[in-house]
């Protein structure tokens, strides 16, 4: 077996298959392997004309067909299956070879694997790949972590197959060890918030206007020509226009209202709790999926919990639609602002030195959250790479600020009329919380000191204090 493949993919389910095809279409000789050889053979039979594949039945032959340093992409189920494939690969590889996990792995696993393989003289690269099956084939957004040395070998190959925006690849080196999978995880958290906010906007238009799915789809299609232009708004317009062939009803009207999740949103929220970053929009979106699946609680509540809800009385249809659009845009910016705060906090925690502007730049194309306003976010971090709060950037203070009256009208009308908008509402609460001159956390500190002697600080002088609540209630310096 001559070692002539520049890149190899093991695991040829749809994502692995499409990545392999993307590499071949871009002129690379691609080594391909799958546990069942039949799938490898069918890939070459169906797509061998697209480029140069080197098919191997055994993992040994697969590894032997790769030029040094070997670059092996593992595209199997996250968790145990990935560990199993890595364990089989390590004895076959030599110093300097590179193992790439392009699945949605949990970043602590990636950090562990990177350390383990480093001990064998190997590079381990956890990379986010976003854009689904189509993105893998036509150009995803790629977020590789791992060693800087590995990127010297991998970068040119990944950048060639990545999506391009203004000729710039949607791929860049993210940072050491688990940084790449971390950024992909936050991407997915933002994706959850984006999708929840769109769903709430759809619900508001449906309940506020009595609009049909098709009518709402037309509204989203119009929104997609403005500041909200994005992949998720675009596909929402398409989904809402879809008719169910069997019933002739609007497709969304026959879809069960229970949202599922593979886990990346959950990981994002769990990590934010650990880091102490208030990603309220992403958290509410993740919990909204859980609520929708809380069948026993929803069954117990239906028809029993009193609503005391008003009736929508929208007199100016166009004004209401514009209010919802402004509220959606403002809430989206909050979700992205929170996500980038989480990236900054993790970068400091793990010493990754992640460039947030570069992350916004590679999210402009290929990925699920690709959107026109990612250009504005990129520009914001180009103005100040240490920007403490995206919402406070000179562009967004205006772009979001202009929508605040509408945001308040939408959230208050939703509450008055009994329409659940957890992401819209929590995003507005975050906006008011982060800009507040004084929060009621002073009372929480006082309560904590009362029952737990947890001490507090004062506004008028430095130090840490405690009141002797159980005796003379005098204040002492702790
Ligand atoms: C992407 C997507 C993808 C995600 C699926 C399912 O960036 O291409 O985020 O990685 O896993 O969309 O996600 P959930 O099941 O968690 O919604």
pLDDT digits 0-9 by tens, 313-340? 899 999 999 999 999 999 999 999 999 9
Given this model, what pLDDT does residue 341 score? 98
pLDDT digit string, tens, across residues 19-75: 999 999 999 999 999 999 999 999 999 999 999 999 999 999 999 999 999 999 999
Q: Average of pLDDT values for 382-390?
A: 97
- Centroid of ligand 1 to alpha carbon of 265 (angstroms): 9
Q: Is the pLDDT of residue 95 over 70?
A: yes
Q: Are 314 and 417 in contact (CB under 8 A)?
A: no
Among 105, 368, 371, residue to substitute to test ligand 1 (most atoms within 8 Å of Cβ): 368
Q: What are phi and psi of 287, to 5 degrees?
A: -70, -30
Would you say residue 371 has pLDDT above 90? yes
Half-sphere exposure of 277 (CA within 13 A, CB side): 28
Beta bridge partners of 74: 10, 101
Q: SS3 for 34?
A: coil
Residue range 216-235: mean pLDDT, rounded: 98
Q: Are 114 and 352 in contact (CB under 8 A)?
A: no
The CA 78 to ligand 1 mean position distance, Å, reads: 13
Q: How far is the CA of 144 from the centre of ligand 1 (A)?
A: 17
Find the 5 Cα to ligand 1 centroid distance in Å: 30
**pLDDT tens by residue, 348-369:** 999 999 999 999 999 999 999 9
In the predicted model, is pLDDT for residue 1 greater than 90?
A: no
Burial of residue 477 (number of CB atoms within 10 Å: 0-12, 13-18, 19+): exposed
* Contact assessment for residue 386 and residue 343, using Cβ atoms and an 8 Å cutoff: no
d(CA 20, CA 74): 11
Q: Which residues are catalytic?
A: 184, 191
What's the CA-to-centroid distance between 188 and ligand 1, angstroms?
A: 6
Helix axes 280-292, 264-275, angle to 10 degrees: 140
Q: Is there a contact between 32 and 65 (Cβ–Cβ < 8 Å)?
A: no
Residues with CB under 6 A from ligand 1: 104, 130-132, 188, 191, 261-262, 264-265, 367-368
Residue 123: phi, psi to the nearest 5? -95, 140
C-alpha to C-alpha distance for 478 and 465, rounded to whole angstroms: 5
- Whose C-alpha lies nearest to ligand 1, atom 12? 132
Question: In a mutational test of the pocket of ligand 1, which residue from 79, 139, 140, 262 has the highest number of ligand atoms less than 8 Å from its CB?
Answer: 262
How many C-beta atoms lie closer than 10 Å to residue 292's C-beta? Answer: 16
Closest ligand 1 atom to residue 141 Cα is 7
What H or E segment, with its residue span, contains residue 124?
Answer: strand 123-130
* Alpha carbon nearest to ligand 1 atom 7, residue: 130
Report the percent of the chain where pLDDT is more than 70. Answer: 100
- Mean pLDDT across the chain, nearest whole number? 97
Q: Is the pTM of this model over 0.75?
A: yes
Instruction: Name the residue at shortest CA distance from atom 5 of ligand 1.
Output: 132
Is 83 a residue whose pLDDT tops 90? yes
- Measured CA angle at 19 (ends 16, 22), to 5 deg: 150
Q: Which atom of ligand 1 is nearest to the CA of 132?
A: 8
* Exposed/middle/buried for residue 17 (C-beta within 10 Å: 0-12, 13-18, 19+): buried
**pLDDT band at residue 293, thresholds of 50, 70 and 90?**
very high
- 147 CB-near residues (< 8 Å, 6+ apart): 118, 123, 125, 176
Contacts of residue 317, defined as CB under 8 A and 6 or more positions apart, other chains included, come to 209
Name, in order, each residue with C-beta under 8 angstroms of 369's C-beta and a sequence gap of 6 or more: 130, 187, 190, 191, 194, 230, 231, 232, 363
3-state secondary structure of 103: coil
> For residue 263, which atom of ligand 1 is closest to its CA?
16
Cα 150 to ligand 1 centre (Å): 26
pLDDT bracket for residue 178 (50, 70, 90): very high
Residue 18 near residue 26 (C-beta atoms within 8 A): no
With a pLDDT cut of 90, the percent of the chain lying above it is: 99
Strands 164-165, 52-55: pairing is: unpaired
Probe residue for ligand 1, chosen from 141, 163, 264 as the CB with the greatest number of ligand atoms within 8 Å: 264
What distances in angstroms separate CA 6 from CA 3, 23, 67, 73, 123, one per listed residue?
9, 9, 6, 11, 16
Given CA atoms 220, 225, 231, 234 in this order, what sign does their dihedral have? positive
């Amino acid at each position: 077996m001559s070692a002539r493949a520049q890149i190899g993919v093991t695991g040829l389910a749809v994502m692995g298959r499409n990545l392999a095809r993307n590499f071949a279409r871009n002129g690379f000789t691609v080594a391909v392997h799958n546990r069942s050889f039949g799938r490898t053979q069918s890939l070459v039979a169906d797509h061998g004309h697209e480029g140069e594949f080197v098919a191997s039945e055994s993992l040994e032959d697969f590894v032997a067909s790769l030029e040094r340093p070997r670059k092996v992409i593992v595209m199997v189920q996250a968790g145990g299956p990935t560990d199993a494939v890595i364990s089989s690969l390590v004895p076959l590889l030599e110093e300097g070879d590179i193992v790439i996990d392009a699945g949605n792995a949990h970043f602590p696993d990636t950090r562990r694997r990177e350390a383990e393989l480093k001990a064998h003289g190997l590079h381990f690269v956890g990379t986010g790949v976003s854009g689904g099956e189509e993105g893998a084939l036509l150009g995803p957004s790629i977020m590789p972590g791992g060693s800087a040395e590995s990127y010297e070998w991998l970068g040119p190959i990944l950048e060639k197959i990545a999506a391009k925006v203004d000729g710039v690849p949607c791929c860049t080196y993210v940072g050491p060890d688990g940084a790449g999978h971390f950024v992909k995880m936050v991407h997915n958290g933002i994706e959850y918030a984006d999708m929840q906010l769109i769903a709430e906007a759809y619900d508001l238009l449906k309940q506020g206007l009595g609009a049909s799915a098709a009518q709402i789809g037309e509204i989203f299609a119009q929104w997609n020509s403005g500041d909200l232009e994005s992949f998720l708004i675009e596909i929402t317009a398409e989904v809402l226009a879809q008719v169910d062939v069997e019933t002739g009803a609007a497709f969304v009207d026959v879809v069960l209202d229970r949202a599922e999740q593979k886990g990346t949103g959950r990981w994002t929220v769990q990590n934010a709790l650990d880091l102490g970053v208030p990603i309220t929009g992403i958290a509410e979106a993740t919990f909204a999926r859980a609520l929708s699946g809380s069948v026993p609680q929803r069954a117990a509540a239906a028809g029993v919990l009193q609503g005391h809800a008003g009736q929508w009385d929208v007199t100016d249809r166009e004004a209401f639609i514009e209010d919802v659009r402004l509220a959606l845009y403002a809430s989206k910016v909050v979700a992205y602002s929170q996500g980038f705060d989480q990236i900054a906090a993790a970068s400091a925690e793990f010493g990754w030195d992640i460039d947030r502007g570069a992350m916004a730049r590679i999210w402009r194309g290929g990925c699920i959250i690709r959107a026109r306003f990612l250009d504005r976010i990129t520009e914001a971090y180009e103005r100040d790479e240490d920007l403490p709060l995206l919402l406070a950037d000179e562009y967004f203070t205006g772009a979001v600020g202009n929508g605040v009256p509408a945001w308040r009208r939408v959230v208050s009308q939703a509450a008055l009329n009994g329409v659940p908008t957890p992401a819209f509402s929590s995003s507005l609460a975050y906006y008011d919380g982060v800009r507040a001159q004084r929060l009621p956390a002073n009372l929480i500190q006082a309560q904590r000191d009362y029952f737990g002697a947890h001490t507090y600080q004062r506004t008028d002088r430095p130090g840490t204090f405690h009141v002797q609540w159980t005796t003379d209630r005098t204040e002492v310096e702790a």
